Amino acid sequence: MIAEQELRDLWIGGRALLLSLAFSLLLSVLAYLVATNTALNYLEQRESVNLTLQVAIAIGALLALLVGADTISGERERGTLETLLLTPVPRTGITTGKLLGALSLWIAAFVISIPYVWFLGRGIGIVGVSLAAGLLVGTLLAVFLASLGVLVSALSASNRVSLSVSLFLLLALYAPTQFPTRAQQGWAGELLLRINPIAAGEHYVGKLVIDAHSWSRDASWLVSPIIAAAAFAVAAVVAARWVRLRGAASG
């Protein structure tokens, strides 16, 4: 019931539709540039698909994070949390429902990206593997980030704090992907990439799409995304037991 209501609020309420529309506009511009603009389409076809997929995963997971970060603290700020806590629905049921609602943003983002990936990757036989890799890695990262958002939201005193902390953590997680190539090499650089779920997930997608590696060859890069998704999903659900009317920061 909570998930159903969350989906109704997000999609019929219009917030998710607006975010999805903005996402599809961004993806359209990106696809147009890499596919048609002769001054800018310096990328090889596989790299174009990979870039589009990486953007789709990043933004889809970002949307899931933003919605997750608004769940509990948003209810608290709107004064509707107490009413929800007074129902016989277990608190774990409340966070699980809200988590599923947040994940719907990633599912929508992935569905929107399908025609773009197909258009850019047609003719070289990578559409299927690209979409499958995107779905796998994107779902793991979306579960991880949405859970992170719900967790931060449950513990934050206000919605503003929840959104700020979540975005800061996301930027910190993306930072290693922007390091110079030299910093990403060597055992320390590789370790840094491997333990960062976002960097590791993107690396794995790149290996499948650009380098046409097999699924199993670089599977070890999926360890941190899998662990992060599972650990944070469990933490978000378990943290529900400590959901209070006021966040931790306000006592």
Partner 1 sequence: MTKAVEAEGLRKQYGELVAVEELTLSLDAGEILGVLGPNGAGKTTAIRVLTTILGPDRGTFSVAGVPHTRPAEIRRRIGVLPESAGYPDRQTGDEYLRFHARLYGHSRASAREVASALLDEVRLAERGRSLVGGYSRGMRQRLGIARALVNEPQVIFLDEPTLGLDPAGQREVLLLVRRMARERGATVLLSTHLLDEVEEVCTRVLILNRGRIAGEGTVAEVARRAAAPRSAILRVTPERASEAARVLAAAPGIEHVESTNGLPGSLTATLVRSDGNEALRALAEAGVPVLAFELEGARLSDAFLAMTEPD
Nearest Cα to 47, choosing from 56, 34, 36? 34
Give whole-number Cα distances, 210 to 49, 121, 126, in Å.
8, 11, 9
Burial of 139 per CB tally in 10 Å (0-12, 13-18, 19+): buried
Q: Which is nearer to partner 1, 198 or 237 (by Cβ)?
A: 237
Q: Least distance to partner 1 from the beta carbon of 97, Å? A: 10
Structure tokens at 23: 């996402």
168 CB-near residues (< 8 Å, 6+ apart)? none
Q: Which is nearer to partner 1, 10 or 62 (by Cβ)?
A: 10
Q: Are 71 and 237 in contact (CB under 8 A)?
A: no
The DSSP letter of residue 217 is T
Backbone angles phi, psi at 14, to 5 degrees: 105, -15
Structure tokens at 27: 């993806």
Q: Which is nearer to partner 1, 6 or 202 (by Cβ)?
A: 6
Q: Least distance to partner 1 from the beta carbon of 17, Å? A: 13
Q: Could you list the residues that contact partner 1 (CB under 8 A)? A: 1-2, 5, 9, 13, 78-80, 82-83, 85-90, 245, 251
Q: Least distance to partner 1 from the beta carbon of 240, Å? A: 13
Altogether, the residues listed in the chain come to a count of: 251
Q: Least distance to partner 1 from the beta carbon of 236, Å? A: 20
Q: Least distance to partner 1 from the beta carbon of 80, Å? A: 4
What is d(CA 219, CA 240) in angstroms, rounded to the nearest whole number? 32
Q: Least distance to partner 1 from the beta carbon of 3, Å? A: 12
Q: Which is nearer to partner 1, 36 or 83 (by Cβ)?
A: 83
Q: Which is nearer to partner 1, 87 or 185 (by Cβ)?
A: 87
Q: Which is nearer to partner 1, 72 or 209 (by Cβ)?
A: 72
